[in-house]
Amino acid sequence: MKRLFQLMAEKNASDIFLTVGAPINIKINGVAVPVNQSVLNSDAVKQLLYEVLSEKQIREFEDEMELNTGYTFDGVGSFRISAFRQKGTPAVVVRFIPSAIPALDSLHLPDALQDIIMQKRGLVLMVGATGSGKTTSLAAMLDYRNAHKSGHILTLEDPIEFVFRNRKSVVNQREVGTDTKVFQIALRNALRQAPDCILIGEIRDRETMSSALQYAQSGHLCLATLHANNSYHALNRIISFYPLENRPTLLLDLSASLQAIVSQRLVRTRVGTRRAAVEVLLNTRHVSELIEKGEINEIKEAMEKSMAPGSQTFEHALFKLYMEQEITKDEALANADSATNMLWMINQATAGQLTDLPPAENQGPRDVPKEGEPAAAGGDTSFGDIKID
């Protein structure tokens, strides 16, 4: 198994798949390919898996038929292991997390993210599908704060993926199963540990969401990931955690506490690599009012019609990549939330009537950022190759 881990690092692969009846498959730039023609049997899958598990973990897998854990290979990186059974046989999926945390500016993400991560308080959500680069981008943001601002950064993870070293901040990382028995207990105790910034690995339920809001409301910057396609879906998923009678209070708390929702997708470039397309929703006064009223459907239109400095839709991000000749028209259309809007922008550009993104309209007093919001991001946004989370 360790040789496979080395292979993943050498090839900058995101995942490896071990399944009975198929060769070992490795995913590079979003494409899974066999490493050889040897078909795995049940014993081979178990042998590879058990090489990197403790006796306790082996018993857990055999008893529960599922196991999620992490493994650190010194000098190579960390690996997120998901073992399970399918059709009565063992199977394993391994995700590669490189050792080095990439510098935020090396990922060429929107400049607004530097302002967002330096905020004193509020809730920041990083959303996207599995394999969209959420973990990598969030780690780069957190390490940027670590390098530029003193304080205490606390992370609650299952498992720990990127390992931070203490720089300008003190960083404490807690892993479920190693440093705390139960995630919910760690959540309840977090505020007693005097953090300035708290990272929650992933919001999966109402209790975790309520804790995140509590942290933000009590003067902390809280970062978390959420599985959602974009800002609109993220907000609706949060609302779905709560019963109808609790939603007015939730919307009020969310409207006051949210700093930003950052949504990320990886798109295929013309040369076969992958690049990040990023949507940024900043919680301006107008967005806050829409959230409080529960008018979530109006937020995308508000972003398009009166773009706040630093905010951008997926269409704007994809248009930039298209104009930079990084991605094809088909790739832009396939990844846009609105293929119609995307096609209009491309056609206008082709006709020579649109050579850059439409300028943000004058926001007026209603859309000036609230206290604690990120300042306007300056300069053009460009996107570079990023590693998959």
Tell me the per-residue pLDDT of 74-106, one tens digit each, with 9 for 90 and over.
888 889 999 999 999 999 999 998 888 999 999
pLDDT band (50, 70, 90) for residue 354: low
pLDDT value of position 355: 55
Across 147-169, average pLDDT: 94
Q: Indicate whether 74 and 172 sit together in one domain.
A: no
How many domains in the chain?
2
81 & 179 share domain: no
Whether 114 and 26 map to the same domain: the answer is no
The verdict on residue 384 lying in a domain is: no
Whether 356 and 237 map to the same domain: the answer is yes
Please indicate, yes or no, whether residues 11 and 149 belong to a single structural domain of this protein: no
Give the domain extent around 253. Answer: 104-367
Instruction: Based on the fold, state whether residues 58 and 162 are members of the same structural domain.
Output: no
CATH of the domain at 54: 3.30.450.90
| 241 and 266 share one domain | yes
The answer to whether 59 and 351 are in contact (CB under 8 A) is: no
pLDDT band at 306 (very low <50, low <70, confident <90, very high): low
Mean pLDDT to the nearest integer, 285-301: 94
State the CATH number of the domain containing residue 222. Answer: 3.40.50.300
Strands (E), the chain: 15-19, 25-28, 31-34, 66-73, 77-86, 89-98, 122-127, 151-157, 169-175, 197-200, 221-226, 258-268, 274-282
Residues 164 and 192 in one domain: yes
47 in the same domain as 189? no
Is 388 within a domain?
Answer: no
Residues belonging to the chain: 389
180, 174 contact by CB (below 8 A)? yes
Is position 326 within any domain? yes
When pLDDT is averaged across residues 332-347 and rounded to a whole number, the result is 95
Which sign, positive or negative, has the C-alpha torsion 59, 60, 63, 68? negative
Question: Are 77 and 199 within one domain?
Answer: no
Separation CA 383–CA 324 (nearest Å): 10
The predicted structure's pLDDT at residue 377? 35
**Residue 363: inside a domain:** yes
Q: Does some domain include residue 65? A: yes
Q: Is the pLDDT of residue 367 over 60?
A: no
Same domain, 277 and 207: yes
Among 81, 98, 115, residue at a domain's last position: 98
Give the rounded percent of residues in the chain with a pLDDT score beyond 90. 77
pLDDT of 160 reads 86
Band (370; pLDDT cuts 50, 70, 90): very low
The owner of tokens 């198929």 is: 22
Considering only residues 314 and 350, tell me which one the structure prediction assigns the higher pLDDT: 314
- Is 380 a domain residue? no
* Percent of the chain at pLDDT exceeding 70: 90
Provide the 3-class DSSP secondary structure of residue 183: helix
Note the pLDDT of residue 230: 96
pTM: 0.80
Rg over CA atoms, the chain: 22
Does residue 157 form part of some domain? yes
Same domain, 211 and 322: yes
- pLDDT(178) > 90: no
Choose the final residue of a domain: 98, 114, 148: 98
First-last CA distance in the chain: 20
* Residues 342-346, mean pLDDT to the nearest whole number: 95
295 in a structural domain: yes
Average pLDDT, the chain: 89
In this prediction, residue 95 carries a pLDDT of: 94
Instruction: Give kind and range of the element (H or E) at residue 345.
Output: helix 339-350
pLDDT at residue 302, rounded to an integer: 85
- By CB atoms closer than 10 A (0-12, 13-18, 19+), residue 376 is middle
pLDDT at 145 over 50: yes
Predicted confidence band at 260 (pLDDT cuts at 50, 70, 90)? Answer: very high
**DSSP three-state, residue 66:** strand
- Domain ends where: 98, 115, 147? 98
363 compared with 159, residue with greater pLDDT? 159
